[in-house]
Structure 1
Amino acid sequence: MKKKSKSSSDLEKSSKARVLALGSVMAFIIAISPYIFYLYESFPQEQTWDTLLFSFKTNYYSTLYVAAWNFMNKFVPLLLLIVWFFTCKHWWYHVILIPISMYIFQIVSSLNDDIEYIDEFEIYYIIPVMMVVIPIVYLIRLKLFDKVVHGIDLDKIDKELKEYEAKERDI
């Protein structure tokens, strides 16, 4: 018996340690987000960047500096929204997927040099995400509203209906 309680307490300690470590990583990411954003300042004011490992050229933007600035303006909010999504404990956290999808489409369009208009048509790509997320969140809200505000327990009602149907079949 003592071994079981010891192992369960060890599991609790390791679980708490994981939660603490994950929270520390999330706090660190949030704390360094301004530094991540300002990484664009390390890019050159030219259209081509030649290094020992690779050569990078932008055709759409006037300089790599502007391209990096545009990318960071979309990446840092996306990063913070993802942290918020995974750490949020509220019932409505699925709604955060909508701005996450918006920033993903904006990043893809800003990296694609062939697109003529950036940040103009992403809403049309987000509509399918909204069509899935909004009804799910609304249904969750309805269940919570019925249970908390009106005191209606849908599981209890279902159970009573099944008992009533069973009685009707027996008669």
Structure 2
Amino acid sequence: MTNKQQKLKKEKSWFQRTDNRSVVLGTFIAVFIASTPYLFYLYESVPDQKVWDTFLFTYDSTHYGSVLTVAWTLTGKIIPLLLILIWFFTCRHWWYHVLIIPISMFIFQIFTVINDDISYVDSNQMLYLIPLIAIVVPSIYLIRAKMFDKLNTANKSLQELEDEFMIKPTSLWGKIKQYF
């Protein structure tokens, strides 16, 4: 095997490898994505009453009036959040940082639903997201401009430029750590 082939083999990301760990992780992700319609309907197992008393906890739905409504609202926020998180951590395109905006929006909505004192669930999120959008969108635009500038002045393909700008952590934990 030549040095170039060894280098290419080392540069494969965690979701492109074919070792047992990545196959198991890929299978888990695929099964999870395929089961999300069923996971969404888990809210139907919650009783339609104001107070839900279990052996683990007691939940009193003061704002919504029904625990079923709270569960339905939360599953409508949590399932898309989990799907976007999977997309974010497995995306290999240069623009994947833009996914931070809908991720933060869904997280904000979940906190809003949990806080029973707020009367309008899906209002005023944009005010809280504007600082994040003001940072992410220009950053993505600058990366895009730099890529197309290099594309016009060099003989590289768009895929080669995306690979050049891509941050390649060695593991899923490494990819998570690069943001915190």
TM-score, normalised on structure 1? Answer: 0.76
Structure 1 distance, partners of 2:127, 2:18, is: 42
Residue identity in the other structure for 1:143: K
1:136 aligns with 2:149: no
Please list every run of at least 4 consecutive aligned residues from structure 1 whose deviation after the TM superposition is greater than 6 angstroms.
Answer: none
1:83 aligns with 2:86: yes
Offset of residue 150 of structure 1: 4.0
Residue identity in the other structure for 1:75: I
Offset of residue 15 of structure 1: 7.0
Gaps of at least 5 residues in structure 1 are: 1-8, 154-171
1:25 aligns with 2:28: yes
Structure 1 distance, partners of 2:19, 2:139, is: 31
Residue identity in the other structure for 1:104: I
Structure 2 distance, partners of 1:82, 1:110, is: 19
Structure 2 distance, partners of 1:138, 1:152, is: 22
Structure 1 distance, partners of 2:30, 2:127, is: 34
Q: Among 103, 106, 109, which residue is 1:103 paired with?
A: 106
Q: Pick the structure with greater CA Rg.
A: 1
Gaps of at least 5 residues in structure 2 are: 1-8, 157-180
SS in structure 1 opposite 2:19? helix
Structure 2 distance, partners of 1:83, 1:132, is: 22
Q: Whose RCO is larger (CA < 8 A, sep 6+)?
A: 2
Structure 1 distance, partners of 2:142, 2:32, is: 33
Structure 1 distance, partners of 2:99, 2:83, is: 11
Match of 2:45 in 1: 42
1:16 aligns with 2:16: no
1:57 aligns with 2:52: no
Structure 2 distance, partners of 1:124, 1:16, is: 45
Q: If each structure's helix is expressed as a fraction of its own residues, which one has the higher value?
A: 1
Structure 2 distance, partners of 1:118, 1:151, is: 50
- Deviation per CA, 1:107-166, whole angstroms, max 9, x where unpaired? 10011011122111011111111122112211111111111234389xxxxxxxxxxxxx
TM-score, normalised on structure 2? Answer: 0.73
Note if contact 1:49-1:56 (Cα within 8 Å) is conserved in structure 2.
yes
Structure 1 distance, partners of 2:149, 2:100, is: 25
Residue identity in the other structure for 2:149: D
Offset of residue 29 of structure 1: 1.4
SS in structure 2 opposite 1:149? helix
